[in-house]
Amino acid sequence: MNSVIKKFPKQNVWKKYREKHRWYRVSDFPSGIAAPEKVRIYRQNDYYRLQFWDPSVRKNLSERVEGDLVAAISRAREIEERLHHFRSSGTHLRKQNHTDLIQKYQYFLQSRADAREISPKTVTRYQSALEHYQRFIQRPSIESVYPLATNVNRELVLQFQAYLNQLQISPNGHPHTPKRSMAAPQYVLNVVRAMYTWAADPEGGNLMPEGFRNPFLSKYRQSATVKPDLFGDPDITMPMAAEFLTSCDQFQLPIFTLLIFYGLRASEPCFLFRENLTSDGWLKVVCLPELGYTTKGRRDKRLPLIGPVLQCLNSDFSQHQTGLLLRRRSVWNGSVQPQLAGCSLEQLQVKYTQNCQKAKSPSADQRIKIRDQILQSAGGLKYDQIQNEFHQLAAKLSWPAKATLKDFRHLFSTALMNAGVPEYYRKYLMGHAVGRGAITNYTHLDQLREQYQAAVDREFQPVLEVVSKRVSEWKQRTAA
């Protein structure tokens, strides 16, 4: 039996298609029901279509609504409310992929750094953490199930947590170093959690549809990281510190004297100026916003100077009474004469402001480069140079690899505790937050010098004797 193909005129086919898919504007509403002001309702075939202007994307959007006219009006009211409060309908946010989400969050972090709300180093740390999440989400088995950021759920969080626990990484990022398990996978989870919290916030990223729930906020998740056992001596003991200072040359001694006697962070000596030495015997470690520098935690502190330490800081017999307190070795020994050598703190701040104005609204990274160039021209030290000096002496003394530059802070905090210094004073001297309770506003450190001197008399005598002896030897040698 031959099949007969019936051909319709093109005009009739188009008329049938047009009637099926044509939009019919709903303008007559039941009595007592007001028409939406910003959302137009159309009837199309057996469902309704909403159309409206979305200021956040600057174009007309539409949404299909299954159901009757009541359902369409109800949904139109919801969209109007979001447009009124947030100037965004939220309907265009349903197809947010993971890569775009990460890029937008990184841009937001960089904007916060440019506004000086966070440190550029924080942006770098967050980017490193998000790289682990991006590599995980790009795996074929994950990408096929969770193609969009809006698809994330509790199951994805558990798989990501298992992925981080099994991940082997290089501790310093170098490809040739031995790989080991991640030390703090919880940090990566916290960064991803913060990203989704920002994306779901209507006043934040506003990238997630209405009703999105952040699965990374689960309160049942706990870290599997085992806390270290703090029993026993620190990796650098007081006799080791005395041996270390004995091996220091005249350039190294002031640097490591500060680190041992005051537990400074290794980068803080790079931003100390002679103006930080007060006439009444204090060394101020402060934020310098006019020079683009803030201490970790954004906290100022002052440290009581004792005689041998002050003499050690002046042991280079520099003719400059202002400017950087410590200079790099090539400037210290006179082989290099930097352009801004001896400039005061105020002069360097003025130079920094002028260079930032010439750069015309520099980013956070550009401001750091400008600051570092000024300090370089003033003969300043860098963290890496202090680190290299430490490694050279540690290798000379055959110290174990676990003894690091940061262990001087461990030694300082331990010595203060053993000397009976109250925790409130210890936190202040370490540059930590002393607390959030109201009691902190009523407690004043009126015995800081006495508390520190008691710790020096009880715990720091071995290193104090070394510093006193070295300073006396240099004075005799210079006088001769």
pLDDT in tens, 282-298: 999 999 999 999 998 88
111 and 49 fall within a common domain: no
Question: Is the pLDDT reported for residue 217 higher than 70?
Answer: yes
120 and 81 fall within a common domain: no
Q: CA-to-CA distance for 272 and 269, rounded, in angstroms? A: 5
Domain boundary among 46, 74, 93: 93
75 and 109 fall within a common domain: no
Express each pLDDT in 69-97 by its tens digit.
Answer: 999 999 999 889 888 887 777 776 557 88
pTM of the complete model? 0.78
388 and 427 fall within a common domain: yes
Q: Which residue from 267, 108, 272 is spatially nearest to 194, judged by alpha carbons?
A: 108
Residue 231 lies in a domain: no
173 and 186 fall within a common domain: yes
- Residue 45: CA count within 13 A, CB half-sphere: 9
Average pLDDT over residues 393-406: 95
Question: Is the pLDDT reported for residue 310 higher than 70?
Answer: yes
Domain boundary among 217, 246, 267: 217
Domain that holds residue 256: 238-479
89 and 102 fall within a common domain: no
Domain boundary among 68, 93, 118: 93
Q: Which amino acid is at 145?
A: V
Percent pLDDT > 90 in the chain is 63
Residue 4 lies in a domain: no
Residue 80 lies in a domain: yes
213 and 293 fall within a common domain: no
Q: CA-to-CA distance for 68 and 323, rounded, in angstroms? A: 77
Contacts of residue 89, defined as CB under 8 A and 6 or more positions apart, other chains included, come to 52, 54, 56, 61, 79, 82, 83
394 and 266 fall within a common domain: yes
Q: Which residue from 294, 161, 95, 97 is spatially nearest to 105, judged by alpha carbons?
A: 97
50 and 193 fall within a common domain: no
Residue 133 lies in a domain: yes
326 and 456 fall within a common domain: yes
2-16, 48-62, 85-99: which has the minimum mean pLDDT? 2-16
204 and 66 fall within a common domain: no
Residue 45 lies in a domain: yes
User: Which residue shows structure tokens 């017999």?
Assistant: 317
Query: CA–CA distance from 432 to each of 301, 409, 424, 427, 435 (Å)?
Result: 10, 12, 10, 5, 9
Under 8 Å between Cβ of 51 and 60: yes
Contacts of residue 288, defined as CB under 8 A and 6 or more positions apart, other chains included, come to 271, 294, 345, 349
Residue 225 lies in a domain: no
Give the pLDDT band (50/70/90) at residue 1.
very low
**Quick check: helix, strand or coil at residue 303?**
strand
Give the pLDDT band (50/70/90) at residue 212.
confident
65 and 121 fall within a common domain: no
Residue 460 lies in a domain: yes
Residue 179 lies in a domain: yes
Domain count of the fold of the chain = 3
